[in-house]
Amino acid sequence: MLTVDFTRFPLAAGDRVLDLGCGAGRHAFECYRRGAQVVALDQNAEEIREVAKWFAAMKEAGEAPAGATATAMEGDALNLPFPDASFDVVIISEVMEHIPDDKGVLAEMVRVLKPGGRIAITVPRYGPEKVCWTLSDAYHEVEGGHIRIYKADELLGKIRGAGLKPYGTHHAHALHSPYWWLKCAFGVDNDKALPVRAYHKLLVWDIMKKPLATRVAEQLLNPVVGKSFVAYATKPHLPKAEA
Protein backbone atom coordinates (compact mmCIF):
# COMPACT_ATOMS: atom_id res chain seq x y z
CA MET A 1 0.00 0.00 0.00
CA LEU A 2 1.69 3.16 -1.24
CA THR A 3 0.94 6.67 0.01
CA VAL A 4 3.19 8.47 -2.46
CA ASP A 5 1.63 8.53 -5.94
CA PHE A 6 4.41 7.70 -8.38
CA THR A 7 2.37 8.94 -11.33
CA ARG A 8 2.57 12.41 -9.76
CA PHE A 9 6.05 11.81 -8.38
CA PRO A 10 7.82 9.86 -11.16
CA LEU A 11 11.27 8.35 -10.80
CA ALA A 12 13.92 7.99 -13.47
CA ALA A 13 16.10 4.90 -13.67
CA GLY A 14 19.24 5.53 -11.67
CA ASP A 15 17.76 8.23 -9.44
CA ARG A 16 19.41 8.30 -6.02
CA VAL A 17 16.53 7.95 -3.55
CA LEU A 18 16.50 8.23 0.24
CA ASP A 19 13.49 6.70 2.01
CA LEU A 20 13.85 8.40 5.38
CA GLY A 21 12.13 6.60 8.24
CA CYS A 22 11.43 3.74 5.85
CA GLY A 23 9.67 1.54 8.40
CA ALA A 24 8.76 -1.78 6.77
CA GLY A 25 10.06 -0.47 3.44
CA ARG A 26 6.97 -0.14 1.25
CA HIS A 27 8.13 2.95 -0.64
CA ALA A 28 11.76 1.81 -0.78
CA PHE A 29 10.68 -1.45 -2.42
CA GLU A 30 8.64 0.39 -5.05
CA CYS A 31 11.56 2.71 -5.85
CA TYR A 32 13.84 -0.32 -6.23
CA ARG A 33 11.35 -1.92 -8.63
CA ARG A 34 11.40 1.29 -10.66
CA GLY A 35 15.16 1.15 -11.14
CA ALA A 36 16.33 3.63 -8.54
CA GLN A 37 19.45 3.51 -6.39
CA VAL A 38 17.70 3.32 -3.04
CA VAL A 39 18.85 3.92 0.51
CA ALA A 40 16.27 2.89 3.11
CA LEU A 41 17.09 4.45 6.49
CA ASP A 42 15.38 4.01 9.84
CA GLN A 43 16.36 4.14 13.51
CA ASN A 44 14.65 0.79 14.16
CA ALA A 45 17.33 -1.90 13.79
CA GLU A 46 14.86 -4.78 13.59
CA GLU A 47 12.90 -3.20 10.75
CA ILE A 48 16.11 -2.40 8.88
CA ARG A 49 17.18 -6.05 9.09
CA GLU A 50 13.84 -7.11 7.61
CA VAL A 51 14.04 -4.51 4.85
CA ALA A 52 17.53 -5.74 3.94
CA LYS A 53 16.19 -9.31 3.69
CA TRP A 54 13.42 -8.17 1.38
CA PHE A 55 15.87 -6.27 -0.82
CA ALA A 56 17.95 -9.43 -1.13
CA ALA A 57 14.88 -11.50 -1.97
CA MET A 58 13.77 -9.00 -4.60
CA LYS A 59 17.20 -9.08 -6.21
CA GLU A 60 17.19 -12.88 -6.22
CA ALA A 61 13.72 -12.93 -7.80
CA GLY A 62 14.69 -10.41 -10.47
CA GLU A 63 12.11 -7.87 -9.34
CA ALA A 64 14.43 -4.90 -9.88
CA PRO A 65 15.96 -3.92 -13.24
CA ALA A 66 19.66 -4.00 -13.99
CA GLY A 67 21.42 -0.98 -12.51
CA ALA A 68 19.04 -0.64 -9.57
CA THR A 69 20.65 -0.84 -6.14
CA ALA A 70 19.25 -1.04 -2.63
CA THR A 71 20.80 -0.48 0.78
CA ALA A 72 19.15 -0.64 4.21
CA MET A 73 20.82 1.13 7.12
CA GLU A 74 20.21 2.48 10.60
CA GLY A 75 20.44 6.21 11.05
CA ASP A 76 19.25 9.39 12.73
CA ALA A 77 16.96 11.69 10.76
CA LEU A 78 18.51 14.69 12.51
CA ASN A 79 22.07 13.69 11.64
CA LEU A 80 22.03 11.96 8.27
CA PRO A 81 25.29 10.17 7.39
CA PHE A 82 25.50 11.58 3.86
CA PRO A 83 27.34 14.47 2.21
CA ASP A 84 25.45 17.50 0.97
CA ALA A 85 23.52 17.05 -2.29
CA SER A 86 23.66 13.24 -2.22
CA PHE A 87 20.15 12.41 -3.47
CA ASP A 88 17.85 13.21 -6.38
CA VAL A 89 14.77 12.26 -4.37
CA VAL A 90 13.87 12.08 -0.67
CA ILE A 91 10.72 10.38 0.63
CA ILE A 92 9.53 10.71 4.22
CA SER A 93 6.20 8.99 4.81
CA GLU A 94 4.24 9.09 8.09
CA VAL A 95 7.32 10.08 10.09
CA MET A 96 7.34 13.81 10.82
CA GLU A 97 4.35 13.62 13.17
CA HIS A 98 6.55 11.51 15.49
CA ILE A 99 9.58 13.83 15.65
CA PRO A 100 9.78 16.82 18.05
CA ASP A 101 12.26 18.74 15.87
CA ASP A 102 10.45 18.54 12.55
CA LYS A 103 12.20 21.67 11.28
CA GLY A 104 15.54 20.00 11.96
CA VAL A 105 14.50 16.97 9.93
CA LEU A 106 13.41 19.19 7.05
CA ALA A 107 16.76 20.99 7.17
CA GLU A 108 18.63 17.68 6.97
CA MET A 109 16.51 16.50 4.03
CA VAL A 110 17.17 19.73 2.19
CA ARG A 111 20.88 19.44 2.90
CA VAL A 112 21.23 15.97 1.38
CA LEU A 113 18.95 16.76 -1.58
CA LYS A 114 20.53 17.93 -4.81
CA PRO A 115 19.47 21.30 -6.24
CA GLY A 116 16.54 20.55 -8.52
CA GLY A 117 15.77 17.42 -6.50
CA ARG A 118 12.34 16.49 -5.21
CA ILE A 119 10.84 15.57 -1.86
CA ALA A 120 7.63 13.69 -1.03
CA ILE A 121 6.25 14.19 2.48
CA THR A 122 3.21 12.38 3.88
CA VAL A 123 1.58 12.90 7.28
CA PRO A 124 -1.77 12.00 8.84
CA ARG A 125 -4.44 14.41 7.64
CA TYR A 126 -5.80 16.86 10.21
CA GLY A 127 -9.50 15.90 10.22
CA PRO A 128 -9.29 12.10 10.42
CA GLU A 129 -6.36 12.32 12.85
CA LYS A 130 -8.24 14.74 15.11
CA VAL A 131 -11.10 12.23 15.35
CA CYS A 132 -8.63 9.55 16.48
CA TRP A 133 -7.15 11.83 19.16
CA THR A 134 -10.64 12.73 20.38
CA LEU A 135 -11.76 9.11 20.62
CA SER A 136 -8.66 7.70 22.29
CA ASP A 137 -5.77 9.06 24.34
CA ALA A 138 -4.06 5.68 23.95
CA TYR A 139 -3.87 6.26 20.19
CA HIS A 140 -1.23 8.95 20.56
CA GLU A 141 -0.06 8.93 24.19
CA VAL A 142 2.47 6.14 23.66
CA GLU A 143 6.25 6.20 23.48
CA GLY A 144 7.25 7.21 19.98
CA GLY A 145 3.66 8.02 19.05
CA HIS A 146 2.18 10.98 17.22
CA ILE A 147 3.00 14.24 18.98
CA ARG A 148 1.30 16.69 16.63
CA ILE A 149 -1.47 16.97 14.07
CA TYR A 150 -0.53 18.98 11.00
CA LYS A 151 -2.90 21.27 9.21
CA ALA A 152 -2.09 21.41 5.52
CA ASP A 153 -1.14 25.08 5.57
CA GLU A 154 1.13 24.53 8.56
CA LEU A 155 3.07 21.74 6.87
CA LEU A 156 3.32 23.63 3.58
CA GLY A 157 4.57 26.68 5.48
CA LYS A 158 7.32 24.62 7.10
CA ILE A 159 8.23 23.14 3.73
CA ARG A 160 8.57 26.64 2.26
CA GLY A 161 10.45 27.80 5.34
CA ALA A 162 13.02 25.07 4.72
CA GLY A 163 13.71 26.52 1.29
CA LEU A 164 11.62 24.09 -0.75
CA LYS A 165 8.99 24.92 -3.36
CA PRO A 166 5.75 22.87 -3.06
CA TYR A 167 4.24 21.89 -6.39
CA GLY A 168 1.42 19.48 -5.59
CA THR A 169 -0.71 17.92 -2.86
CA HIS A 170 -3.37 15.24 -2.51
CA HIS A 171 -4.97 12.92 0.03
CA ALA A 172 -4.79 9.13 0.27
CA HIS A 173 -6.25 6.07 2.02
CA ALA A 174 -9.81 7.24 2.67
CA LEU A 175 -10.92 3.66 3.32
CA HIS A 176 -8.46 3.44 6.21
CA SER A 177 -9.89 6.36 8.19
CA PRO A 178 -12.99 4.46 9.42
CA TYR A 179 -10.79 1.54 10.46
CA TRP A 180 -8.74 3.74 12.77
CA TRP A 181 -11.85 5.41 14.13
CA LEU A 182 -13.19 1.96 15.01
CA LYS A 183 -9.86 1.00 16.58
CA CYS A 184 -9.90 4.14 18.71
CA ALA A 185 -13.54 3.66 19.69
CA PHE A 186 -13.17 0.01 20.73
CA GLY A 187 -9.60 0.25 22.05
CA VAL A 188 -6.44 0.58 19.98
CA ASP A 189 -5.18 -2.78 21.29
CA ASN A 190 -8.54 -4.53 20.96
CA ASP A 191 -8.39 -6.45 17.70
CA LYS A 192 -11.18 -8.82 18.77
CA ALA A 193 -14.06 -6.34 18.51
CA LEU A 194 -16.36 -7.54 15.73
CA PRO A 195 -16.56 -4.21 13.85
CA VAL A 196 -12.76 -3.90 13.90
CA ARG A 197 -12.23 -7.47 12.67
CA ALA A 198 -14.85 -7.10 9.95
CA TYR A 199 -13.44 -3.84 8.65
CA HIS A 200 -9.90 -5.21 8.75
CA LYS A 201 -11.00 -8.11 6.53
CA LEU A 202 -12.46 -5.58 4.09
CA LEU A 203 -9.17 -3.67 3.95
CA VAL A 204 -7.12 -6.82 3.41
CA TRP A 205 -9.49 -7.89 0.63
CA ASP A 206 -9.23 -4.46 -0.96
CA ILE A 207 -5.42 -4.41 -0.81
CA MET A 208 -5.08 -7.93 -2.22
CA LYS A 209 -7.80 -7.84 -4.89
CA LYS A 210 -7.95 -4.13 -5.78
CA PRO A 211 -11.58 -4.35 -6.95
CA LEU A 212 -12.82 -1.53 -9.15
CA ALA A 213 -15.67 -0.62 -6.79
CA THR A 214 -13.45 0.14 -3.80
CA ARG A 215 -10.81 1.82 -5.97
CA VAL A 216 -13.43 4.22 -7.33
CA ALA A 217 -14.95 4.73 -3.87
CA GLU A 218 -11.58 5.61 -2.37
CA GLN A 219 -10.78 8.06 -5.15
CA LEU A 220 -14.10 9.81 -4.53
CA LEU A 221 -13.66 9.81 -0.75
CA ASN A 222 -9.98 10.81 -0.59
CA PRO A 223 -10.67 14.56 -0.83
CA VAL A 224 -13.13 14.26 2.06
CA VAL A 225 -11.70 11.72 4.53
CA GLY A 226 -8.34 10.65 3.10
CA LYS A 227 -6.23 9.40 6.03
CA SER A 228 -2.98 10.91 4.72
CA PHE A 229 -1.99 14.32 3.39
CA VAL A 230 0.74 14.16 0.74
CA ALA A 231 2.89 17.09 -0.41
CA TYR A 232 5.51 17.23 -3.16
CA ALA A 233 8.21 19.88 -3.35
CA THR A 234 11.41 20.74 -5.19
CA LYS A 235 14.70 22.21 -4.05
CA PRO A 236 15.43 25.25 -6.21
CA HIS A 237 18.63 25.44 -8.20
CA LEU A 238 21.20 27.84 -6.83
CA PRO A 239 21.40 31.12 -8.76
CA LYS A 240 24.36 31.31 -11.08
CA ALA A 241 27.15 33.57 -9.92
CA GLU A 242 27.66 36.65 -12.04
CA ALA A 243 30.84 36.71 -14.09
pLDDT (0 to 100) of residue 144:
86
Examine residue 11 and state whether it is found in any structural domain, yes or no.
no
For 137, phi and psi rounded to 5 degrees? Answer: -70, -35
Examine residue 48 and state whether it is found in any structural domain, yes or no.
no
Examine residue 18 and state whether it is found in any structural domain, yes or no.
no
pLDDT (0 to 100) of residue 240:
66
pLDDT (0 to 100) of residue 139:
93
Q: Who's near 34: CB < 8 A, 6+ residues apart?
A: 6, 11, 13, 68
Examine residue 102 and state whether it is found in any structural domain, yes or no.
yes
Question: pLDDT for 23-53, tens place per residue?
Answer: 999 999 999 999 999 999 999 999 999 999 9
Examine residue 86 and state whether it is found in any structural domain, yes or no.
yes
In degrees, rounded to 5, the angle at the alpha carbon of residue 29 between the alpha carbons of residues 191 and 230 is 70
* Euclidean distance between CA atoms 151 and 125, whole angstroms: 7
146, 140 in Cβ contact below 8 A?
yes
Instruction: Indicate the pTM of the whole model.
Output: 0.95
Q: Tell how far CA 5 is from the center of its chain.
A: 10
Residue 221: which CATH number? 3.40.50.150
Examine residue 53 and state whether it is found in any structural domain, yes or no.
no
Examine residue 7 and state whether it is found in any structural domain, yes or no.
no
* Euclidean distance between CA atoms 208 and 1, whole angstroms: 10
Q: Domain range spanning residue 195? A: 76-234
Examine residue 242 and state whether it is found in any structural domain, yes or no.
no
Q: Who's near 135: CB < 8 A, 6+ residues apart?
A: 181, 184, 185
Q: What is the mean pLDDT of residues 197-219?
A: 95
Domain count, the chain: 1
